[in-house]
Amino acid sequence: MTTLEKIIQDLSKMDEQQLEPISALITSLHSQSNPAPCDRQNILQFIQQARQRHPQRATAEIDRDLQAERNSWDS
């Protein structure tokens, strides 16, 4: 089960009163954020920065982690 699936499962158990502060927080964060577009250039830049921060990790290992993350998005 992915993290997102766990979160959805937990949220589905809450009643409307419990969800209200979470909804307000999400709305607040969304209005404050200016997310970077999720285009190829930004993704490649993120990968390059991750490799620079963790030079001791093998590139193949990082690639496997990234592929696992991508696969979790699809499910």
List phi, psi (to 5°) of 38: -90, 65
Q: Which residues of the chain have pLDDT under 50?
A: none
pTM for the whole structure: 0.34
Give the pLDDT score at 17: 85
Give the pLDDT score at 45: 79
**Residue 62 in contact with residue 54, Cβ under 8 Å?**
yes
Which of 75, 73, 3, 1 minimizes the C-alpha distance to 38?
A: 73
Question: What tokens were used for 59?
Answer: 């590139």
Give the pLDDT score at 74: 67
